[in-house]
């Protein structure tokens, strides 16, 4: 069996958070009512002219600087000609040979290994409209309905170098890029809703080869999970084709998430012949140093810097910090909580553990999480101060999810204060020792595990309220 190396490059489209579209003044806001944010410009009617939205350039510079690109001073726009009903003009305004950003990079970390992934370019362009198909899928539909609300919304396309060698590397790159776009506030990054979209170019080559194999472009990857699954499926499919003596063809395939397969997309447009040419309706955009340096100076703290700060300022382990900074909302939640929390690692443990589990379970993000950072901090402090055992803290947390109350108040309401009174605990210790002579004998015979059983019995008697540290200590002393 030939061993193969996987080669992956990603093309990411990010819708910019502008008020208006890229080349006309229609609202760029998402709406469910089709064809309401449209004008003669984005409907491709004769006699209209495009005028570029300044904020598009501003956002593209900001994103470019955040991924370490060189901003290009001379920018022009080109028409990418194609006939497809999602654009009325029959061309997309894009940038071909003079993109706004070149030669950047994003650092990723997979299984503790650092790797630098090249960003070839970022260019500005306009989004296309949306096709709603009459049937279940695009290929079983007799006709489609087109909604031009999205047509003309500003996009940046971020093209990576083919530097990734596994689905996990692609995922890490995509996660980091998403975090950067969120931090810089240029895109709202909702993959499910399509404001952040990803196409993957995947090929395989025999191990040690220098020439890449035939690449396949996979579309319709609207979650990290879809990205990973689609790449893994596609690599296996390509290996199988080659193993059977077949040849791969350069094509576009779509990811069918329900069936977990990639399917060939045969477009009615026979050839990819875009006949690019400069858009004479627009004029060049010249970006001077002052503009670039002003945007650079205004760049917010980026995920990598924030991670370093969390490690330095709060002593978080790298793993914790990297997960907390991976979404801006989580990082902000953490920063807010540690303002009053006495234990930053405690906050991190909650966020990475029970809070994440709850969010995943509910299918919501931390922005929709009802427990306030201040309340979570209070819960951490109650544990830190020995008022709550970690087990009871979980119980209080469950209550906090149900009602918007401070954990301190809930502890009183539920009568959950930890018992740290020596006399009370001693009483329980003595009782338990008397009731379990066999376990006591086992412990004395050197079976350390027996103490676990006894501690468990005492905790049960106290309904989980006894301070477990004190129980352990006093039990040992008593049995010596």
Closest contact distance (angstroms) between CB of 123 and another protein is 16
**Burial status of residue 359 (CB atoms within 10 A of its CB: 0-12, 13-18, 19 or more):** middle
What is each CA distance from 125 to 10, 39, 341, in whole angstroms? 17, 18, 45
> Which contiguous run of DSSP H or E holds residue 71?
strand 70-71
**Gap between the Cα atoms of 39 and 35, Å rounded:** 9
Query: x/- contact string, 15-34, with another protein (CB under 8 A)?
Result: ---xxx---xxxxxx---xx
**Gap between the Cα atoms of 392 and 390, Å rounded:** 6
143 lines the binding site for another protein (CB under 8 A): yes
> Which contiguous run of DSSP H or E holds residue 334?
helix 328-337
Locate 359 and state its tokens.
């969010």
84 lines the binding site for another protein (CB under 8 A): yes
Closest contact distance (angstroms) between CB of 87 and another protein is 12
Q: Provide the strand spans (E) within 328-423.
A: none
**Gap between the Cα atoms of 110 and 170, Å rounded:** 10
390 lines the binding site for another protein (CB under 8 A): no
271 lines the binding site for another protein (CB under 8 A): yes
In this chain, which of 51, 103, 292, 311 binds another protein, going by CB under 8 A?
51
Whether 145 contacts 152, CB under 8 Å: no
54 lines the binding site for another protein (CB under 8 A): yes
> Which contiguous run of DSSP H or E holds residue 400?
helix 390-402
92 lines the binding site for another protein (CB under 8 A): no
131 lines the binding site for another protein (CB under 8 A): yes
Closest contact distance (angstroms) between CB of 85 and another protein is 4
Locate 29 and state its tokens.
């806001």
In this chain, which of 266, 342, 370, 463 binds another protein, going by CB under 8 A?
266
242 lines the binding site for another protein (CB under 8 A): no
Q: Please provide the distance, in angstroms rounded to a whole number, between the alpha carbons at the two ends of the chain.
A: 65
148 lines the binding site for another protein (CB under 8 A): yes
| Torsion sign, CA atoms 375, 380, 381, 386 | positive
252 lines the binding site for another protein (CB under 8 A): no
In this chain, which of 5, 35, 166, 420 binds another protein, going by CB under 8 A?
35
273 lines the binding site for another protein (CB under 8 A): yes
**Gap between the Cα atoms of 132 and 74, Å rounded:** 38
Site for another protein in 410-439 (CB under 8 A): none
Smallest CA-to-CA distance from 220 within 233, 211, 205 is with 233
**CB under 8 A: which stretch of 114-122, 127-135, 175-183, 470-478 binds another protein?**
127-135
In this chain, which of 8, 14, 42, 316 binds another protein, going by CB under 8 A?
42
| Residue count, binding to another protein (CB under 8 A) | 60
In this chain, which of 6, 53, 95, 439 binds another protein, going by CB under 8 A?
53
Whether 228 contacts 35, CB under 8 Å: no
139 lines the binding site for another protein (CB under 8 A): yes
Which residue ranges make up the site for another protein (CB under 8 A)? 18-20, 24-29, 33-40, 42-43, 45, 51-57, 76, 81, 83-85, 131-132, 134, 138-139, 141-148, 265-268, 270-271, 273, 275, 278, 280, 282-286
């Amino acid at each position: 069996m030939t061993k193969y190396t996987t080669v992956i490059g990603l093309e990411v489209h990010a819708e910019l958070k502008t008020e208006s579209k890229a080349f006309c003044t229609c609202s760029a806001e998402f709406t469910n009512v089709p064809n309401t944010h449209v004008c003669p410009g984005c409907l491709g009617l004769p006699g209209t002219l495009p005028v570029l939205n300044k904020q598009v350039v501003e956002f593209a510079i900001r994103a470019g600087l955040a991924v370490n690109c060189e901003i290009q001073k001379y920018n022009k726009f080109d028409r990418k000609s194609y006939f497809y009903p999602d654009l009325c003009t029959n061309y997309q305004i894009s940038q071909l040979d003079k993109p706004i950003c070149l030669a950047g990079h994003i650092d990723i970390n997979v299984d503790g290994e650092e790797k630098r992934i090249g960003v070839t370019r970022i260019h500005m362009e306009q989004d296309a409209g949306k096709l709603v198909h009459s049937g279940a899928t695009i290929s079983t539909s007799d006709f489609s309905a087109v909604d031009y609300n999205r047509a003309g919304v500003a996009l940046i396309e971020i093209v990576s170098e083919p530097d990734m060698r596994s689905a996990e590397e692609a995922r890490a790159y995509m996660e980091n890029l998403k975090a950067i776009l969120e931090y810089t506030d240029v895109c709202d990054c909702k993959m499910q809703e399509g404001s952040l979209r990803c196409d993957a170019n995947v090929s395989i080559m025999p191990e040690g080869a220098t020439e890449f194999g035939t690449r396949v472009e996979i579309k319709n990857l609207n979650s990290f999970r879809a990205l990973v699954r689609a790449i893994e499926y596609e690599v296996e499919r390509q290996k199988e084709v080659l193993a059977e003596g077949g040849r791969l063809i350069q094509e576009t395939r779509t990811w069918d998430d329900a069936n977990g397969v990639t399917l060939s997309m045969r477009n009615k447009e026979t050839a990819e012949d875009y006949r690019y040419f400069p858009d004479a309706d627009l004029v060049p955009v010249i970006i001077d140093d002052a503009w670039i340096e002003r945007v650079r100076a205004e760049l917010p703290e980026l995920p990598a810097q924030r991670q370093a700060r969390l490690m330095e300022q709060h002593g978080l382990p790298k793993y914790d910090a990297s997960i907390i900074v991976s979404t801006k909302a989580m990082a902000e939640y953490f920063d807010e909580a540690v303002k009053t929390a006495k234990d930053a690692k405690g906050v991190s443990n909650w966020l990475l553990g029970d809070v994440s589990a709850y969010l995943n379970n509910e299918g919501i993000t931390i922005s929709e999480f009802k427990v306030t950072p201040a309340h979570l901090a209070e819960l951490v402090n109650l544990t830190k101060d020995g008022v709550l055992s970690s087990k009871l803290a979980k119980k209080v947390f469950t209550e906090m999810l149900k009602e918007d109350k401070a954990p301190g108040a809930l502890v009183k309401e539920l009568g959950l204060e930890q018992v740290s009174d020596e006399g009370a605990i001693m009483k329980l210790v003595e009782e338990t020792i008397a009731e379990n002579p066999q376990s006591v004998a086992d412990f004395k015979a050197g079976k350390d595990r027996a103490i676990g059983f006894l501690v468990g019995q005492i905790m049960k008697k106290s309904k989980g309220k006894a301070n477990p540290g004190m129980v352990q200590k006093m039990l040992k002393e008593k049995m010596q």
